[in-house]
């Protein structure tokens, strides 16, 4: 009897663990982050001194572009009666900078704030938005944040801020109020704003904001800005590829505002797909030929056919090595490739 009870307890614990692990991947509970490959540097996201420049992309549609190569971008849309903001940035100071940028253009209430993923640099400004602002995110993002703490997330992001955890001072975790599964949308006067989840990419619940009439998308961490390659942080390039295929089938943006890096165009999707295909092929050939994989990913450089933004070369080389290592550590991806 006691053995049965122990077995039941074990099963319950294993089930809880298995259930928790994938959905909290971006956050504090990530039990064992993969060991980065040689040459990998964490994305430089330190918000100290970051200024957001307002760029009007279409009538009433604005991108907020960071003045450093990889710190977060954001955006907002002004409707007839209300404003919608995309991502709240790194901390209260940056969140306030977004509110101030909106106030330069409109006095309308900020009724919606969309969070594209569960990383601190996209959600830690939430708490400075008005109490009436509804915050919308994928349900998986809400679940992950509900199990997280500012301290926990900050610890996992230490490398992205040069170890300066004071950038998180004062941050309060404000969990989004409205969750969606595949799609959420709202009509803001003349502009329809959609939010989609196409599958896992850089993290499990990366979501895309899309304006169908203006053909503008905010792709957060799924598609970085001009001159980049994808980072399959969770390690599954085959799933990432499928997500991009779903993205291309469902929406067709002309302009892409990434969460990080400069504004790019819709061709970023085929560029990312080509890169993933090539990388799967290279990694799977290494596995097939029985070559020692660490010697390959540790020294890998990006082929010149991928145009890389010069200031991001080291960062992208690290992403490339991470992607190769991830496939080599998970040969099942080659069967699906
Ligand atoms: Zn990000």
> In DSSP terms, which residues pair with 91 in a beta bridge?
none
Helix %, strand %, coil % for the chain, to 5? 40, 20, 40
Total-model pTM: 0.91
Gap from CA of 123 to ligand 1 centroid (Å):
10
| Residue 5 is assigned to a structural domain of this protein | no
Percentage of residues in the chain having pLDDT higher than 70 = 90
| Residue 270 is assigned to a structural domain of this protein | yes
| Residue 24 is assigned to a structural domain of this protein | no
pLDDT tens digits along 76-88 = 999 999 999 999 9
Gap from CA of 252 to ligand 1 centroid (Å):
22
Q: Which domain holds residue 329?
A: 34-336
Q: Which residue has the tokens 């709202």?
A: 186
pLDDT tens digits along 91-137 = 999 999 999 999 999 999 999 999 999 999 999 999 999 999 999 99
* Confidence (pLDDT) at 33: 59
pLDDT tens digits along 230-255 = 999 988 999 999 999 999 999 999 99
* Confidence (pLDDT) at 312: 97
pLDDT of 314 above 80: yes
Gap from CA of 122 to ligand 1 centroid (Å):
6
Gap from CA of 137 to ligand 1 centroid (Å):
14
Gap from CA of 285 to ligand 1 centroid (Å):
31
Gap from CA of 240 to ligand 1 centroid (Å):
16
pLDDT tens digits along 24-62 = 445 434 445 578 999 999 999 999 999 999 999 999 999
Gap from CA of 153 to ligand 1 centroid (Å):
13
| Residue 27 is assigned to a structural domain of this protein | no
CATH number for the domain spanning 290: value is: 3.60.15.10
Gap from CA of 282 to ligand 1 centroid (Å):
27
pLDDT of 1 above 80: no
Total domains, the chain: 1
| Residue 29 is assigned to a structural domain of this protein | no
| Residue 144 is assigned to a structural domain of this protein | yes
* Sheet with 191-196, side-by-side order of all strands: 183-188, 191-196, 208-211, 216-220, 255-258, 264-265
| Residue 326 is assigned to a structural domain of this protein | yes
| Residue 330 is assigned to a structural domain of this protein | yes
- For 112, phi then psi, to 5°, come to -130, 140
Q: Which helix (H) or strand (E) holds 327?
A: helix 313-328
Write out the two tokens for 125. Answer: 């400004």
């Amino acid at each position: 009897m006691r053995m049965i009870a122990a077995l039941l307890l074990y099963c319950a614990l294993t089930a809880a663990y298995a259930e928790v692990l994938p959905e909290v991947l971006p956050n504090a509970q990530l039990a064992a982050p993969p060991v980065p490959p040689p040459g990998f540097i964490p994305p430089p996201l330190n918000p100290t001194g970051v200024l957001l420049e307002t760029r009007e992309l279409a009538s009433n549609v604005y991108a907020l572009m960071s003045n450093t190569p990889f710190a977060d971008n954001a955006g907002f849309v002004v409707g007839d009666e209300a404003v919608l903001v995309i991502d709240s940035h790194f901390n209260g100071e940056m969140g306030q900078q977004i509110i101030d940028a909106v106030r330069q253009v409109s006095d309308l209430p900020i009724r919606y704030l969309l969070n594209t993923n569960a990383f601190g640099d996209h959600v830690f400004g939430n708490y400075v938005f008005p109490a009436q602002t509804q915050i919308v995110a994928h349900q998986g993002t809400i679940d992950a944040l509900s199990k997280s703490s500012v301290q926990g997330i900050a610890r996992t992001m230490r490398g992205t801020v040069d170890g300066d955890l004071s950038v998180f001072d004062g941050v309060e975790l404000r969990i989004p109020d409205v969750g969606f599964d595949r799609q959420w949308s709202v009509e803001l006067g003349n502009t329809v704003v959609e939010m989609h989840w196409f599958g896992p990419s850089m993290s499990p619940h990366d979501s895309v904001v899309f304006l169908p009439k203006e053909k503008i998308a905010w792709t957060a961490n799924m598609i970085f800005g001009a001159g980049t390659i994808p980072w399959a942080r969770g390690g599954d390039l085959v799933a990432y590829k499928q997500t991009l295929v779903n993205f291309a089938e469902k929406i067709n943006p002309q302009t892409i505002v990434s969460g990080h890096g400069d504004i790019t165009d819709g061709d970023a999707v085929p560029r990312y797909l080509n890169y993933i295909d090539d990388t799967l092929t290279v990694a799977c050939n290494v596995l097939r030929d029985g070559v020692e994989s660490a010697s390959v990913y540790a020294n890998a450089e990006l082929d010149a056919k991928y145009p890389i933004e010069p200031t991001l070369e080291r960062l992208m080389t690290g992403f490339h090595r991470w992607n190769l290592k991830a496939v080599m550590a998970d040969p099942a991806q080659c069967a699906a490739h």
